[in-house]
Amino acid sequence: MSIRFIDLHSHSTASDGSDTPAELVRNAAAAKLAAIALTDHDTTSGLDEAVREGRQRGIEVIRGCELGVRCEHGELHILGLWLPEDGGSTPLNATLAELRHHRATRNHRIAAQLRECGVDIEYAEVEAISGGESVSRLHFARILHEKGYVPSPQEAFARYIGPGGRAYVAKETLSPAGGVALLRSVGATVALAHPMLFRYPGNGFAEWLDDTVADLKSHGLDAIEAYHSEHSQADTRRCVDLAARHGLALTGGSDYHGAGKPGIALGRGRGGLRVTTAVLDSLKERRLRQRLPV
């Protein structure tokens, strides 16, 4: 049997990706991936459509989401994989609705601050280009770019909406331990997303990350996202070491956003990414040991 590949981190129009959930799955099938996880920010609204399309295309779709959680030095991201199917009834869904409410509050403030910077923008325009379910700063970045305020969407983060930018507004959210515990409470497998993208102020990142991971493990953290489009080989090695030291599993994905992040392909990242089905098998074995469904 030939080696097959997977992608356990992707976004659809339910948050800030540009493919609908069904399109995303069709693209995954075209890329001959064996499995994907749809991990939209703060929402599960794309999952049913993606799972349905996956059944038709013969590709395994894992129900996921990505949460931004606030720690003393900024925002960490965590992924929940194998979310439960029971729609609106879990504590997770109630909290996701609150998080989206905080998102909307923050987004109105971003729009107001941008106007103070002389940018011609209404929040309704931002909502209009999103699916409306989970509006993110990437939508602001697209509009700032389309209107010619920045040479690329990326630059919108440096100049306006990223930390240190003139229209940066932090988002109210969960603590890292709270986020991990919430996802675990509904039977999800929880991974720390792209750890090496975290901008730690000053020296001592490795030690801080080690302590943070130890703490999160005590709240139920399962895995480290070692393989990611924006991780260098050295970053990946550090993550593999980190996971090994703490007895955690590995996960990986492209963080595909479609046209929202040009240059990042499903399953392939910027070209060098390859996550094999062995990664998925290890995650499943861990779940079986935990007596959780796969």
Question: In the complex, what is the shortest distance from the CB of residue 156 to ligand AMP, in angstroms, rounded to a whole number?
Answer: 8
Q: Tell me which residues touch Mn ion (CB under 5 A).
A: 16, 66, 77, 193, 255
154 binds ligand AMP (CB under 6 A): yes
Question: In the complex, what is the shortest distance from the CB of residue 139 to ligand AMP, in angstroms, rounded to a whole number?
Answer: 8
Token output for 82? 């194998």
282 binds ligand AMP (CB under 6 A): no
Helical (H) or strand (E) element with 222: none
Helix (H, G, I), strand (E, B) or coil at 90: coil
Question: In the complex, what is the shortest distance from the CB of residue 106 to ligand AMP, in angstroms, rounded to a whole number?
Answer: 7
> Which of 155, 191, 181, 183 lies closest to 96, judged by CA?
183
Give the residue carrying structure tokens 């910027």.
270
Question: In the complex, what is the shortest distance from the CB of residue 120 to ligand AMP, in angstroms, rounded to a whole number?
Answer: 21
Which one of residues 21, 68, 179, 269 is an interface residue with ligand AMP (CB under 6 A)? 68
137 binds ligand AMP (CB under 6 A): yes
Token output for 65? 């989401």
> Which of 211, 238, 210, 208 lies closest to 226, judged by CA?
238
Which is closer to Mn ion, CB of 77 or CB of 142?
77
Q: How far apart are CA 34 and CA 80, in angstroms?
A: 19
Which is closer to ligand AMP, CB of 52 or CB of 70?
70
Phi and psi at residue 62, to the nearest 5°: -95, 130
Interacting residues with ligand AMP (CB under 6 A): 16, 41, 68, 136-138, 154, 157, 162, 171, 257
